[in-house]
A and B are shown apart, each in its own frame.
Chain A
Amino acid sequence: MFPITLRPDQMAKELAEFGEKLTHGSRTLAGIGDIEVGACAKEVVYQEDKLTLYRYQPRVKQPHPVPLLIVYALVNRPYMTDLQEDRSLVRGLLDAGLDVYLIDWGYPDAADRFLNLDDYINGYIRRCVDRIRARSAQERINLLGICQGGAFSLCFSALHPERVRNLVTMVTPVDFHTPDNLLSHWVRQIDVDLLVDTLGNVPGELLNWTFLTLKPFRLTGQKYVDLVNILEKEEAARNFLRMEKWIFDSPDQAGEAFREFVKQFFQDNGLVKGTVEIGGRRVDLKDLSMPVFNVYATQDHLVPPASSLAMKSLVGTRDYSEFAFRGGHIGIYVSGRAQKEIPAAVAEWLNARSG
């Protein structure tokens, strides 16, 4: 028998209900006002160009003496780590007693077009690290690199091991040529020299399009049909809009840095081959002598687990640990389970090594 047993009166009822929810939802959205992001108090401790280095206000009396610097990706905004009160990796880390700093890269414009990976890694990150080392009177600090920021942290730690006490990476790509890496599969066919020479900075909107086309039916269609059920409650709507704000808040990418990252990491798979060169120095992951904690998401469609797990055989340290989070690339920051699991795991691992 035909497995669709829809009756016209049922469909009519369903469509009427959908329409009603849609109109109510539309009104909710219209009256919701500005969407605020960020939950934890923080102060500016350093600024340079578009970059701002924040220190979050500790939430325990005696925070851990070794500070933790979060290095986020360039392609999205770092407030995903502190989205709202009940979805905040930063808050979890602060509650676990850590002294947390974060680099906000800002929004590059045409004047930043010639910033390259040397500027970002040996320039910005190093100066931020040195600033924190001086403030905290610690020779070495802890780094937590997220996604592309994780790749940057790997490079920084390999080039400046004397400054890094422990390295934590989250959803960080290492092997860019795993068979399930769709992004890399597509990007390898792009003439990135022509792209950057033409566009200068690479528009965030172009990157958004690329991310949306990973799952276009869900991300551009079904998600908004699902939304009618969310919009009945204003708080749920606000939560949705915070996520939406973050997803489409993609800064343009400084042209030279983008060119180098795509060519050396995506196209040449340089971290695996040991061919990445930054500021004239070769990056060898065997130089990672400090303890490394690799946190990855088992259902990550942007950074497949295999891409992260390749780190194990490449790093020089004997103290390498992994943590598998059952979820996706975004869920690892914002899901309810992530709030419980991730900060606790990171803090426990660091506490065991920073005493």
Chain B
Amino acid sequence: MADGNERDKGPGRDWAEAQRKYWDAWLELSRQAPEGSQPWQQALEGMLKFMGPPAGAGTTGSEVSDRLLEQGRAFFQFGDEMMGLLRRMQSAAQAGEAWQARFGQGLETLREGFGKAGEQAAGAAQGALAFWGLPLDTWRRVSSAFSTLPGDFLGGLKNEGVSHLHAGVERSLSAPALGYTREWQEQAQHGARLWLDYQKAQQDYAELLGHVNSAALERLMARLEKMAEAGEQVDNLRGVYDLWVDASEEAYAEVVATTGYAERHGRMVNALMAWKHHAQLMSEEFTTAANLPGKREMDTAHRRIQALRREVNELRETVAMLQARPGAGGAPAEQPAVKSTRTRPAEKKAAPRRKGAAAAARSTASRKTDK
């Protein structure tokens, strides 16, 4: 590990002094911005308003555009935060402190800031979350489409919060059902338990993913120390960003290859499916009461139709084979398969088959399906 005290003497002190002046000048500029604002993001918003997509533009690139802007904002935010962090680093360098501890603390603070913002994040602000690596965020967006209750309104709850909630609700859910609607009450209780199970599974998954951030931080620090020892330098923000992404991917790859991750990932998906499946069964009660076809009926119908279609295909092929026999007469109902014969070369059989193919193509065209 590099020793900051040793390294930051002599020319190093001069460098630090020069840097401090730069940062002080920057700080002065930043102070001119309103309290709590992020000048670079404001500048970006201004530019977008001025040069942004014209109203009514085509939608082809709109999703990509959203992602682009989302990540652009996250990159700007990263830049803003990095500026603050590096300014603090200058004072550490001046004081002759080792940079490792100060930088590590700074990055950790940065990450926590993104995490907190993420609890209230919505829309474009989620881009910053994605930057700090939350596959869970994508999962929430995807899974909400399968949920009877869209979104994840316990998303911001800490794991212990879910556990307490689970325990409390479990007690009330354990109360025996009574009266005429007893069965329905039991089903509702079971559904509530399944929903809590899913929340718990999701929190467990998120907790494990949380380790990725700290592992990424360790990797980044190790990488920077190696660079410092080798005398390598990063002199642009994008370079720092790429270092962070590399460290994050490496840390993530290590975590997701574990059995623990696969188990938690599986539990989360399975828990969501169990809850949704139960919700479907309960919704069947309503559709039945309203004399509407439910999922069960539709599944039965589709299953039977598919079985019939298989049979029809088999029958068609059997008929075609029988009709293709010498002396059977009649045009084939379906294009016959080419019989594998070793006595006649394939070329000699080509002409009649082509005729059959045309007939078959016509019959196929006449029963064009649901494209």
Contact = CB atoms under 8 A, between A and B. Distances in A.
Question: Which size bracket describes the interface of A in this complex?
Answer: 35 or more
Interface in B91-133: 93, 99, 103, 130-131, 133
Contact of A47 (B295, B354, B371): B371
Contact of A130 (B235, B242, B245, B338): B338
Nearest to A48: B369
A48 B53 CA distance: 42
Interface string A25-62: 11111111111000000000111111010000000000
Contacts of B361: 45-46
A23 B337 contact: no
Nearest to A135: B357
B241 A225 contact: yes
Nearest to B71: A224
Contact of A8 (B25, B50, B340): B25
Interface stretch (B58-66, B160-168, B179-187, B282-290): B58-66
Given A137-B350, A225-B241, A190 B266 contact: yes
B206 interface: no
A22 B124 CA distance: 15
Contact of B369 (A47, A133, A194): A47
A11 to B, nearest CB: 5
A134 B335 contact: yes
A84 to B, nearest CB: 15
Contact of A199 (B99, B146, B274, B360): B146
Interface residues of B, number: 119
Contacts of A228: 68, 72
B192 interface: no
A22 B89 CA distance: 29
B60 A35 contact: yes
B325 interface: no
Interface string A200-220: 100101101100110111101
Contacts of A198: 146, 273, 276-277, 280
A130 B337 contact: yes
A4 B234 contact: yes
B236 interface: yes
A216 B138 contact: yes
Contacts of B145: 203, 205
B178 interface: no
Nearest to B266: A189
Contacts of B47: 19-20, 22-23
20 contacts: A1-B2, A4-B240, A8-B25, A8-B83, A19-B43, A19-B44, A22-B72, A26-B51, A29-B65, A32-B58, A114-B305, A130-B336, A134-B354, A185-B257, A208-B142, A213-B138, A217-B249, A220-B130, A224-B72, A225-B241
